[in-house]
Structure 1
């Protein structure tokens, strides 16, 4: 699964301080010519068990209560 986020005029791209980051950023720039490619250092997120895509997941406006999960 791709781990980047397409937003209005940009693409947020996780980076990990490795040489492959530059390749990924350049490749995405060719794919999204009309959007700014914004690298985000994601090493701290990985240490917590996720990455950029995980941080951008939607959160319900009203949290589910345990009783609403019963079948």
Structure 2
């Protein structure tokens, strides 16, 4: 039986089980908004220590910087 993420708009991309105890698992998700990722894990907060770190690709980050720069 495989774990399935709730259908909230976040897509599971990868999951890595690490040899070290902290963190023990790294999961990679793709979403349009961080709230979608929070919704996936909100029900597990009482059972696991979960940290969410938003990230973007270098190309997406540069595009965001262009949009934020005054013209």
TM-score normalized with structure 1 length: 0.33
Larger RCO of the pair (alpha carbons < 8 Å, separation 6+): 1
More helix by percentage: 1
Larger Rg: 1
TM-score normalized with structure 2 length: 0.33
